[in-house]
Amino acid sequence: MKETIDRRYGTWRGMIRAALAHLEHATGRLRSFALRDPAGVRRAVFVCHGNICRSAFAHMEAIRHGLNVASLGLSTSTGGRSPKQALAASERAGVDMTAHRATSWPDFKVKPGDLFLVMEVRQAHEVRRRLGPRDDVQIALLGMWCKPPMPHLHDPYKLGDPYFDTCFVRVREAVANLSADLPNARIEPPTTRNKTA
C-alpha cells in the first residue's frame, strides 16, 4: 500500500492533498482557475514552489511544443539549479534540464496575456494574491490538462525516483494537451527575407 501511494502521490500528504483538490474541483470551487480565454494567452508561465522540478520540467517540455514560455518559483532564489534527482528524472524522460536556472517572483516581469499554470490549488490562490487586480492575465491548474484531470501535482522534491517519474509523466501529458489549446502562444518561426542583389 505504501509503495503504491509513494509511486502515485509521493506521500500520504500528497494523496490527501490530491483528494481535497479533487473535491474542490467536483464542487465547482476551482472554476475561477479555469482557462477562460485561450485565444488571449500569449505566454505560458509555469509556476511551482522552487522552479527546480515541476515547473522546470514543464518549461522544457513547453519549448519542445513550440510555446512562448517562462517559469518561476514562489519561494526560491534566482539562479538556483535543479537537484541531481530532478536532472536524473528528466534525463530518463529524454529531457535535458541542466541549463535551467530558477527565477524568483521579484525577478519576474508579468506581461499582458500571461497564463500562470500552477501545480497546486494553494499556489493558484497565492499567485492571484500577488497579481492583485490585474485582469490581463489568467491563472489555471496545469494538472487539469491531464486525463483524467489532476488538480494537485504534488512536489517530487526529495521524494523517491518512482514518484519523480510519475510526476514528470503527468506534467508531460498536461503540457502536450495544453499546447493544443493555446493557438496564440506559439513562437513564430523567423521570417525569411529575400536578399536583393
State whether residue 45 is helix, strand or coil.
strand
Cell of 149: 484531470
Which positions ≥6 away from 82 have C-beta within 8 Å?
52, 53, 56, 90, 97, 98, 100
- Of 186, 174, 182, the closest CA to residue 67 belongs to 186
> What fold does the segment set 2-179 form as a domain?
Rossmann fold (3.40.50)
What mean pLDDT comes out for the span 150-164?
97
What percent of the chain is modeled with pLDDT above 90?
93
Q: What is the pLDDT of residue 174?
A: 98
**Dihedral pair phi/psi, residue 75, rounded to 5°:** -145, 80
Which positions ≥6 away from 139 have C-beta within 8 Å?
33, 115, 116, 118, 124, 127, 128, 131
For residue 116, list its beta bridge partners. 45, 139
Contact 53, 82 (CB under 8 A): yes
What percent of the chain is modeled with pLDDT above 70?
95
pLDDT band for position 189 (50/70/90)? low
Q: Where are the domains of the chain?
A: 2-179
What mean pLDDT comes out for the span 28-47?
97
Q: What is the pLDDT of residue 89?
A: 98
Q: What is the pLDDT of residue 98?
A: 97
- Tell me the pTM: 0.93
